[in-house]
């Protein structure tokens, strides 16, 4: 099977690494890819947002399946375009991808169909938003409606902070059109977890659970990021909890989208808060999480390619998937200044040394080649991922790998998967 993978981050490197292991794979292309992905695929210089050029490439190279990694092309309608040309593609349609593309849509869908989530209201006018903040009280969360690279959810400990967040979105337009509407919701207390489910439209099965670490500093301090590390499985999600999530959240959401004329094929990611009243939805994503994908795919024993192809084509899914024993942990190495402004082009050393450790894979998230040297090219640069017999063993091994990597200004959390 000839496969095109769209994207060039850590999630896409993990997908390329796993797809390359499939005996059904005859050719793997990545657009645009990165130096890590280039070890598994032929990289082509087409950016993920150039959906017409990507479709033309898929036609020209007789691609059997296209796998979309990032959310932006999905929200832009890449699946609709490919399907109109008779090309098989993994991911939801533009209408179904609104589950991530618009938080206002997702919250309204949950409210209409009784899917548990935080109490909320949606606003486009600052004064009304500030008034609602005073109704529900602090702490609370202000969320930009549209895509904001994982940085559009602002946790506000005080009403003054909420006022600033509303100004940031609605008055200063820090997130552009994505923040022209905001969702204001109550703050939920509990442990967070990331739940993956694979849907063919008619069927849906669980595809792993992980725990992400969003804040930039140890102890869950500092601003939100795209994710500073992940552990899979999440020790806080036992089998009864996972079954409850499928029963009360995942299946009802797939049914709700179908009822709204938006049948869902692809990967549905539910960001959960495990509250005293049961699991509730923090947010939905229409693709694999990053860096959760890295940890989850390190554990998956089954061939990923036929699973993605079945979901993309509406074919039958297996009753369940097979997992390897133990756990996997990913620690993200970030550039100095991330999630704010950061430098690029800095030489990276030690990746090969880290991967010389049995059980360690270093996934490239923001790297490039410059004059033959591996250099930084993003805020999140590498994801050092390790598999071990237990969470603690995988964590210790991942940090042994981290200790072997170096670039100027490198920073990372030292408490990934070490919550007690």
pLDDT score, position 420: 46
Q: What is the model's pLDDT at position 63?
A: 98
The verdict on 231 and 164 lying in the same domain is no
Ramachandran category for residue 223: left, alpha or beta (phi over 0 → left; psi -120 to 50 → alpha): beta
Same domain, 308 and 338: no
Question: Which distant-in-sequence residues (6+ apart) come within 8 Å of 210 by Cβ?
Answer: 193, 194, 196, 230, 231, 232, 233, 234, 289, 292, 295, 296
Q: Are residues 123 and 75 in the same domain?
A: no
Beta-bridged to residue 376, according to DSSP, are: 367
Q: Would you say residue 418 lies in a domain?
A: no
3-state secondary structure of 119: coil
Q: Supply the pTM of this predicted model.
A: 0.95
Domain boundary among 288, 313, 338: 313
CATH code of the domain containing 350: 3.90.600.10
Query: Are residues 351 and 393 located together in one domain of the fold?
Result: yes
Q: Is residue 75 part of a domain?
A: yes
**For position 224, what pLDDT does the model report?**
82
209 and 181 share a domain?
no
User: Is the residue at 159 inside a domain?
Assistant: yes
Residues 85 and 123 in one domain: no
- pLDDT at position 153: 87
Residues 337 and 252 reside in one and the same domain:
no
Q: Is position 413 within any domain?
A: no
| Cα(8)–Cα(13) distance, integer angstroms | 7
Q: How high is the pLDDT of residue 419?
A: 66
Same domain, 173 and 206: no
Residue 416 lies in a domain: no
111: in domain? no
CB-CB contact of 6 with 53 (8 Å): no
Last residue of a domain, one of 313, 338, 368: 313
Residue 42's CATH number:
3.40.50.20
Task: Decide if 99 is inside a domain.
Answer: no
Same domain? For 23 and 128 the reply is: no
Contact criterion met (CB below 8 Å) for 96 and 273: no
Looking at residue 152, its pLDDT comes to 84
**Tens digits of pLDDT across the chain (420 residues):** 999 999 999 999 999 999 999 999 999 999 999 999 999 999 999 999 999 999 999 999 999 999 999 999 999 999 999 999 999 999 999 999 999 999 999 999 999 999 999 999 999 999 999 999 999 999 999 999 998 876 788 999 999 999 999 999 999 998 999 899 999 999 999 999 999 999 999 899 999 999 999 899 999 999 888 899 999 999 899 999 999 999 999 999 999 999 999 999 999 999 999 999 999 999 999 999 999 999 999 999 999 999 999 999 999 999 999 999 999 999 999 999 999 999 999 999 999 999 999 999 999 999 999 999 999 999 999 999 999 999 999 999 999 999 999 999 999 999 999 864
Judge if 196 and 277 occupy the same domain. yes
Q: In this structure, are 309 and 201 located in the same domain?
A: yes
User: Could you tell me the residue range of the domain that residue 30 belongs to?
Assistant: 2-94
pLDDT score at 165? 95
What residues are paired with 285 via a beta bridge?
269
CATH classification at residue 214 = 3.30.470.20
Last residue of a domain, one of 164, 186, 208: 186
**Within this chain, do residues 165 and 216 fall inside the same structural domain, yes or no?**
no
Query: What CATH number is associated with residue 146?
Result: 3.30.1490.20
Provide the pLDDT for residue 418: 83
Domain count, the chain: 4
């Amino acid at each position: 099977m000839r496969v095109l993978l769209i994207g060039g981050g850590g999630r896409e490197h993990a997908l390329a690494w796993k797809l390359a292991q499939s005996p059904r794979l005859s050719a793997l292309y990545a657009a645009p890819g990165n130096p890590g992905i280039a070890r598994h695929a032929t990289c082509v210089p087409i950016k993920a947002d150039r959906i017409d050029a990507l479709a033309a490439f898929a036609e020209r190279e007789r691609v059997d399946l296209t796998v979309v990694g990032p959310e932006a092309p999905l929200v832009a309608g890449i699946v609709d375009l490919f399907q109109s040309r008779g090309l098989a593609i993994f991911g939801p349609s533009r209408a179904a991808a609104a589950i991530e593309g618009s938080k206002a849509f997702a919250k309204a869908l949950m409210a209409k169909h009784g899917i548990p989530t935080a109490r909320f209201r949606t606003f486009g006018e600052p004064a009304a938003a500030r008034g609602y903040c005073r109704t529900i009280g602090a702490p609370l969360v202000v969320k930009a409606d549209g895509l904001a690279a994982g940085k559009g959810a602002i946790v506000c400990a005080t009403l003054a902070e909420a006022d600033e967040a509303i100004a940031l979105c609605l008055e200063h337009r820090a997130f552009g059109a994505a923040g022209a509407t905001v969702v204001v919701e109550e703050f939920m207390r509990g442990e967070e977890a990331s739940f993956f489910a694979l849907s063919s439209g008619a069927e849906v099965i669980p595809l792993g659970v992980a725990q992400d670490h969003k804040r930039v500093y140890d102890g869950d301090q500092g601003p939100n990021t795209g994710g500073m590390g992940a552990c899979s499985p999440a020790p806080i999600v036992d089998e009864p909890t996972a079954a409850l999530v499928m029963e009360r959240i995942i299946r009802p959401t797939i049914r709700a989208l179908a009822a709204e004329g938006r049948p869902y094929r692809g990967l549905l990611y539910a960001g959960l808060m495990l509250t005293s009243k049961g699991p509730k939805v923090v947010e939905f994503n229409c693709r694999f999480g990053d860096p959760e994908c890295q940890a989850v795919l390190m554990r998956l024993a089954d061939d990923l390619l036929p699973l993605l192809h079945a979901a993309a084509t509406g074919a039958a899914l297996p009753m369940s998937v097979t997992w390897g024993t133990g756990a996997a942990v990913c620690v993200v190495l970030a550039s100095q200044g991330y999630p704010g402004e950061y430098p690029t082009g800095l030489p990276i050393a030690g990746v090969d040394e880290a991967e010389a450790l049995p059980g360690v894979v270093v996934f490239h998230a923001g790297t490039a080649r410059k004059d033959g040297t591996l250099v930084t090219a993003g805020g999140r640069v590498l994801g050092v991922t390790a598999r071990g017999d237990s969470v603690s063993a995988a964590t210790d091994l991942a940090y042994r790998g981290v200790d072997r990597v170096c670039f100027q200004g490198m920073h990372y959390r030292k408490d990934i998967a070490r919550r007690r």
